[in-house]
Structure 1
């Protein structure tokens, strides 16, 4: 696994994270016929809340981000992007283990949506997420808190 760290996001991170989102989602959005260079960045800008977002770094540079937003019946895992050159190196699994362990301790379910056909779906399934519903673009998944506050291993 690559050396990595995580820090609280700041408002100054929004443009770098929006650019990363465009890179990470491009292939899946193009496959679904939904890629728009401006829209993919603007949707991140519109939903970016530094207070529940973390920036993932390797060697002091932006490598990814993730957000965990509290809602009445679950926390929403959002904006989980990792640069393609750093995928499949264990960073995503390590970040998910950290977040799922937190939610297990708090006894809170986690919800997310992932684009249909995205390889990220298999990562989420390995960490205990199950499909709740699907539409033509998104797969909606949920993960119930593990018994005893112990997360699922990858």
Structure 2
């Protein structure tokens, strides 16, 4: 079964106990220096502020997540985490690709503020085609050029 994208907003998190449990387990595996709050408080605060989580789903379980805040032109990504037991198996790379496809479908670019990144994160983003822009304030991944030649 392939890894698929599952969006978690406040209603989904509050209404689906398995989703809430899985998301909590993902962020409980994050190193303490990566989260500003304990995992459950972080999740609640992010969802209450209008954010959502884009999650990697495999066999009906969430294995990884990215916190997302959307505006009219971009999806701002932060707090990328994959469950410890499934790291180094391509889940994170697949999740980044799925999030990119979803954002492109809505006509948005992906952005990640450099203030939220460690060096390993910056290397991962660079490998996936993100480029440093705006005086080094954020990384951005633009949608691929259209197939019809309109640029």
CA distance in 1 between counterparts of 2:108 and 2:67 reads 15
Change (3 A) 1:140 1:21: farther
The normalised TM-score by structure 2 is 0.66
User: Contact 2:51/2:69 (CA < 8 Å) preserved in 1?
Assistant: no
After alignment, is 108-117 or 12-21 more displaced? 12-21
1:25 to 31, 47, 50: 31
Q: Which residue in the other structure is 2:112 paired with?
A: 112
Pairwise CA RMSD: 3.2
User: Contact 1:18/1:45 (CA < 8 Å) preserved in 2?
Assistant: no
CA distance in 2 between counterparts of 1:79 and 1:35 reads 7
User: Contact 1:7/1:54 (CA < 8 Å) preserved in 2?
Assistant: yes
Change (3 A) 1:112 1:18: farther
1:35 shift after superposition? 6.9
2:142 paired with 1:131: no
Q: Which residue in the other structure is 2:58 paired with?
A: 58
1:76 shift after superposition? 1.5
Structure 2, unmatched stretches of 5+, are none
**Secondary structure, in 3 states, of the residue corresponding to 1:76?**
strand
What is the aligned residue count? 135
CA distance in 2 between counterparts of 1:7 and 1:53 reads 8
1:82 shift after superposition? 1.0
Q: Which residue in the other structure is 1:144 paired with?
A: 142
Q: Which residue in the other structure is 2:95 paired with?
A: 95
CA distance in 2 between counterparts of 1:103 and 1:61 reads 22
Structure 1, unmatched stretches of 5+, are 150-154
The normalised TM-score by structure 1 is 0.65
